[in-house]
Amino acid sequence: MKGKDSLQGETPSLAARLTAIKRTFLERLWGGLLVIAGIGMPLSVMRSLGTGWLPVYWLHILLGACVLAVYCWRKRLSETTLSGLFIGLCWVVGVSGVFSFGIAASSIFWLVLSCLIAGIVHSVRITLMLAFSLVLVLSVAGAGHVGGWLQASINLERYQTLPSAWLSLIFVSLVFVYFIIRAVGAQNAALLDLLGELETQRQVIERSATHDQLTGLPSMRLVEDRIGVAMHQARRSGGKLAVLFVDLDGFKAINDNHGHPVGDQVLREVAQRMRGCLRAQDTVARIGGDEFLVILPAMSELGAAAKVAQSLIAAVSQPCPIEGRVLQVGASVGIAGFPDDADSGAELRRKADAAMYRAKREGKGRYRFFSQG
């Protein structure tokens, strides 16, 4: 059975994208650990020259080998395993350091780091649990060192003057800060990309809800809004609004003789020509197969709509050169006005439609005003 992602085509789901972002983040952190292990292990051996060989150095070597193994297998491990192993490793280093060296243990920062990573990759609940465990470990180790039943396993004074101990600390801090900055930076950049894509998709969806996909013209949904706004303006200014119902003549024959794709090209061409006949504040919308609605707001008199209808008919009737053929359609136009003929958008459309049918009946390729008779 196909997975959910493959069913949705080539675009991965949002959850899959977020998982991929987390994975990149964790892989970068493991990359940092690998560098630390690769250079930190020789530094541990160098430290043993000053402190004598301590069990904790065996641990470092063992952890180094684990880091290498996880890094090599990282592509096969899930995000949860990668983060779980990372947090586990931080705790082994941190707890062993705190119990071995007490307050002098620089490895405390691994414990703090584990909380930080859990906060980025997991939930607040897991982060709080780790933070609580951190306080518990420090309390037990503190009580042990203060109470004397835990002893630092080395001569701390000697240890703190060891150049290799300080070199390790400086090196680990530098490498980790670098890799964390890179990992967080990559995560932020990926999230920003994702947000940008979501915004673009939102705009596309919003546009396809209000615009016709074939011609790019406003669709019926936007028409209702535009007529409403134009009527409101006309009421306030005492002006008029004209609605023109345009239906193409002879369009079916284009589809029948040349095919639907050619018909689509004719519709696109016609839409462009109509847009070219109008003022900026006018609207032309595609409301059906070969039906368009033109809204002319802020008219001083309805008669002026006749001129627009004439220029629309003339523009539409010009021959269309498409794919080496010269095709031709015509247009019939019905006109209704506000407030003369109707006082609602639906009524205006209905009456402009009725006037258009009269234009068709009376021979096509002409315009008619709505009249009661």
Ligand X SMILES: Nc1nc2c(ncn2[C@@H]2O[C@H](COP(=O)(O)OP(=O)(O)OP(=O)(O)O)[C@@H](O)[C@H]2O)c(=O)[nH]1
Interaction site with ligand X (CB under 6 A): 214, 247-253, 255, 260, 263-264, 267, 289-290
What is the closest distance, in whole angstroms, from the C-beta atom of residue 217 to ligand X in the complex?
12
CA dihedral 335, 340, 343, 344 (to 10 degrees): 0
**Please, which residues have CB within 8 angstroms of residue 242's CB and are 6 or more apart in sequence?**
295, 296, 299, 302, 304, 305, 308, 335, 336, 337, 338
Report the residue number, 27 or 249, with the smaller CB distance to ligand X.
Answer: 249
What is the closest distance, in whole angstroms, from the C-beta atom of residue 260 to ligand X in the complex?
4
What is the closest distance, in whole angstroms, from the C-beta atom of residue 342 to ligand X in the complex?
23
Within 10 angstroms of residue 101's Cβ, the number of other Cβ atoms is 22
What is the closest distance, in whole angstroms, from the C-beta atom of residue 341 to ligand X in the complex?
23
What is the closest distance, in whole angstroms, from the C-beta atom of residue 257 to ligand X in the complex?
11
Residue of 290, 340, 343, 353 with catalytic role:
290
- CA 328 to chain CA centroid, Å, is 43
Instruction: Judge whether 290 counts as a catalytic residue.
Output: yes
**Please, which residues have CB within 8 angstroms of residue 226's CB and are 6 or more apart in sequence?**
218, 283, 285, 295, 297
Report the residue number, 118 or 248, with the smaller CB distance to ligand X.
Answer: 248
Report the residue number, 249 or 269, with the smaller CB distance to ligand X.
Answer: 249
Dihedral over Cα of 211, 214, 217, 222: its sign:
negative
Report the residue number, 26 or 327, with the smaller CB distance to ligand X.
Answer: 327
Report the residue number, 32 or 263, with the smaller CB distance to ligand X.
Answer: 263
Report the residue number, 64 or 263, with the smaller CB distance to ligand X.
Answer: 263
What is the closest distance, in whole angstroms, from the C-beta atom of residue 288 to ligand X in the complex?
7
Report the residue number, 217 or 342, with the smaller CB distance to ligand X.
Answer: 217
Nearest to 107 by CA among 149, 141, 79: 141
Task: Give me the amino acid identity at 131.
Answer: A
Within 10 angstroms of residue 270's Cβ, the number of other Cβ atoms is 26
Rounded Cα distance between 138 and 120, Å, is 23
What is the closest distance, in whole angstroms, from the C-beta atom of residue 351 to ligand X in the complex?
18
**Please, which residues have CB within 8 angstroms of residue 134's CB and are 6 or more apart in sequence?**
111, 112, 114, 115
Nearest to 22 by CA among 203, 190, 255: 190
Rounded Cα distance between 138 and 140, Å, is 6
What is the closest distance, in whole angstroms, from the C-beta atom of residue 247 to ligand X in the complex?
5
Report the residue number, 257 or 300, with the smaller CB distance to ligand X.
Answer: 257
Rounded Cα distance between 336 and 352, Å, is 5
Q: Which two tokens stand for residue 311?
A: 């220029």
Point out the residues that are catalytic: 290
